[in-house]
Amino acid sequence: MKKLLLLSLIFYSTAISAQVLRTRAVTLMGSRFDITLVAIDSATAENHVDTVIKEVTRIENLISDWRPFTQVSQVNQNAGIKPIKVDKEVFELTERAIQLSVITNGAFDISFAAMDRIWKFDGTMKKMPTTEAIKKSVEKVGYKNIILDKKNNTIFLKLKGMKIGFGALGEGYAADRCRKIMLEKGIKAGIVNGSGDMNTWGKQPDGSPWNIGITDPKSPDELFAVVPLEHGAVVTSGSYEKFVMFNGKRYAHIINPKTGYPATGLSSVTVFGPSAELANGLSTSIMVLGKTAGLQLIKRYPKMSCILVTDNGNYFCSPNFDITKFLVK
């Protein structure tokens, strides 16, 4: 579950700034996308919102694992049968995902898509799955069984029944792509928010930064902190709305793809940095790894920073980020 709130978002137009702000909410990639652009006039803003929607739709038609005609679906349909040639864009996205899998020792794994959904977080689950069921649920998961051929741009899943899926990582990639395209087209400020994978650039028409509110895991209707952003991405992974309790222990809906067991210990991870794609991958990985290993992981990425909130309400930050000046009093 990802939740970020955009604060202080206003429609604004003055003769001095000669800028307008327009926002539109649409459903893309099976999730809500909020697109906000600052432009010289309303028509320009609306036209470029359409451009963003077309770009996200293009990406969805490449990497969706539930639309049967996409390249990723073709890879999944041919698991254990043959390699599938894909566009360079899809190949490189897969390559980056596997690199993150290697670095996290499998805490992140795009082959999670083959995992059996034996954990229920809708209130219907009354007891833990058996050890055998949990072990079986991840039999088809394992990034080491994804074979990439860079020369031929092919992807092969070694085991029948394997699947890859980009999920929210794809939303982060789409947000990154849209920011790049908008800047190339002269849109100097805006936000693309793909279901919590948020990419910002520039400032609001009145010159103020975008204010990003981070939900308090202990009180989901309240804010924990408000962070101003002018150019950067932010993603929060949280378990405070979807979890189960057994024997006094809290099990999050984010599952460790190596073990099949839910993540424990952290209720919220927020990652800041230049890329929403990477921020998403890191936030998910840190939820699985836990506080100590998660803080070690973020050190490998000097341009990224994070805030972790534990299940008991304590917070910790990476050394390059001081949350104290952004806390809501």
Residue set of the binding site for Mg(2+): 168, 284
Residue numbers belonging to the annotated binding site: 168, 284
**Residue 157 in tokens:** 């899943």
Alpha carbons 170 and 190: distance in angstroms, whole number: 20
- Residue 107 and residue 256 in contact, taking contact as beta carbons nearer than 8 Å: yes
- How deeply is 18 buried, as exposed, middle or buried, from its count of CB atoms within 10 A (0-12, 13-18, 19+)? exposed
- Residue 20 and residue 6 in contact, taking contact as beta carbons nearer than 8 Å: no
Helix, strand, coil percentages in the chain from 3-state DSSP, rounded to 5: 30, 30, 40
How many beta carbons lie within 10 A of that of residue 319, not counting itself?
A: 9
Q: Which residue has the tokens 């910790």?
A: 316
- Residue 210 and residue 191 in contact, taking contact as beta carbons nearer than 8 Å: yes
